[in-house]
Amino acid sequence: MSLLEERYRYWLRLLPASYRAEREEEMVAVFLEGSPDASDADGPRPRWSEIASVAALAVRVRLGGAGAAPRSLSWGETVRLVALLGLLLQAFLAVLTLIAALSEYGVIGAVDPSLAQVTGPFGSVERLANVLTSLAGAAWIAPFVALVLGHVRTAKVLALLAFVAESYVLTDQVGGTFEALVRSLTPVVTLSALWAGFHRDARPARRPLWLLLPPLAAGIAFDALFRLVASPDLPAWWWPWLDPLGLASTLILGAGVGYGYLHLRSPARRTPSWPLALAILAVPVLCARLARLEHGFDAADEVSRTIMLSTLGQTAALLLVALVLAVLGFRALPAARGPSPEPPRTAYP
């Protein structure tokens, strides 16, 4: 075996063993034909383009591409569901951002005259910059709509633009890259799942148009509820549930409990993709919440301690639900080996 062939086989280990057993020899032969005069004395190496093509193929095969095993098909559906649910969550938060911006600038309701000192004079460049900054988070609505309508490439580009815009604003507002990174964990997971899961070999999932309604309806309902209950007299234990991480935790907890009920009452509708997708989305929320807990351990006043205890309870509940969902999902995964059936389509309970 030549040095170049050995190095090609090393990179082909990125592919699943079942896939290599069928096609490794053919792929090595094709690669070697492209370098017929390679000598071990020259220390030949695979081209970066060849390595990139093998890595991309490995992602496609492991996430339900052509020739994938049943378990890989299930993981592909899971990653695509992570992208869809992640964008749904981001769209919900974007609706809240949009409503807040419209209220702040007087489009909805009466504007507070004191805001002119903060947002800048009407028609000024400063005010325009503040408007764009306020609306940065609302950019996540566009990729969600594009994905539901089936425009995957457009959704990928729009999601990347929304992530860049929101990350820039977060870095500028929170005054540090670490805090911005913590708050960007969920968008990072969503964006990664969108680009990796919706590859060229993935069959398009059925996405009903009614999926466009929940973020809008939930955003409007929550904003109305928040305006009704928010007051200085609101119990302190409520506040950790009202920030973006608290809202994300609430949605994941609700969906997790709902799937658990469905899992117990309807065995025929059990699926690995839903519990695994919810468990994956819970991970960045948990990491972000844990990263911010350190600010409350030295709390001296009673209100801060109450908020701290409520946050700990929320984190513990989310961790428990995520672990249960992960167990249910792994148990529902098909065997690692076996014939590859038609890729399952995402089902919406």
Q: What integer pLDDT is reported at residue 106 of this predicted model?
A: 65
Tokens of 188: 């990072």
- Mean pLDDT across the stretch 109-125? 56
Share of the chain above pLDDT 70, in %: 79
- Mean pLDDT across the stretch 177-189? 79
Q: What integer pLDDT is reported at residue 262 of this predicted model?
A: 92
In the predicted model, is pLDDT for residue 333 greater than 70? yes
* Model confidence, pTM: 0.83
Q: What integer pLDDT is reported at residue 345 of this predicted model?
A: 44
In the predicted model, is pLDDT for residue 169 greater than 50? yes
Within a 10 A sphere around the Cβ of 224, how many other Cβ atoms? Answer: 11
- Mean pLDDT across the stretch 140-152? 92
Q: Of residues 80 and 294, which shows the higher confidence score?
A: 80
Q: What integer pLDDT is reported at residue 322 of this predicted model?
A: 96
Q: What integer pLDDT is reported at residue 79 of this predicted model?
A: 95
Q: What integer pLDDT is reported at residue 281 of this predicted model?
A: 96
Cα separation values, 108 from 104, 112, 178, 208, 262, Å: 8, 11, 34, 31, 40
In the predicted model, is pLDDT for residue 35 greater than 90? no
For the stretch 300-327, pLDDT in tens is 677 777 888 888 999 999 999 999 999 9
Enumerate the domain spans of the chain.
3-61, 63-332
Please, what is the Cα angle at 136 between 135 and 140, to 5 degrees? Answer: 105
In the predicted model, is pLDDT for residue 68 greater than 90? no
In the predicted model, is pLDDT for residue 59 greater than 60? yes
- Mean pLDDT across the stretch 32-42? 78
Q: What integer pLDDT is reported at residue 349 of this predicted model?
A: 36
- Name which of 39-43, 54-58, 275-279 the model is least confident about: 39-43
In the predicted model, is pLDDT for residue 80 greater than 90? yes
Rg (CA), the chain: 24
DSSP secondary structure letter of residue 240:
G
- Mean pLDDT across the stretch 212-233? 79
For the stretch 241-288, pLDDT in tens is 888 888 999 999 999 999 999 999 998 888 999 999 999 999 999 998
Q: What integer pLDDT is reported at residue 315 of this predicted model?
A: 93
Band (pLDDT 50/70/90 cuts) for residue 341 is: very low
Confirm if 116 and 104 have CB atoms less than 8 A apart. Answer: no
Confirm if 70 and 29 have CB atoms less than 8 A apart. Answer: no
Residue 262: burial class (beta carbons within 10 Å; 0-12, 13-18, 19+): middle
Q: What integer pLDDT is reported at residue 206 of this predicted model?
A: 64
Cα separation, 143 vs 171, whole angstroms: 22
For the stretch 118-139, pLDDT in tens is 555 555 555 556 666 777 778 8
Phi, then psi, of 50 in degrees rounded to 5? -70, -40
Instruction: Say how many Å lie between the first and final Cα of the chain, rounded.
Output: 54
In the predicted model, is pLDDT for residue 9 greater than 50? yes
Cα separation, 251 vs 97, whole angstroms: 17
Cα separation, 280 vs 252, whole angstroms: 10
Q: What integer pLDDT is reported at residue 340 of this predicted model?
A: 43
- Mean pLDDT across the stretch 130-156? 86
Summary mean pLDDT of the chain: 81
Q: What integer pLDDT is reported at residue 66 of this predicted model?
A: 64
Q: Of residues 309 and 159, which shows the higher confidence score?
A: 159
- Name which of 3-17, 143-157, 290-304, 310-324 the model is least confident about: 290-304
In the predicted model, is pLDDT for residue 298 greater than 80? no
- Mean pLDDT across the stretch 32-57? 84
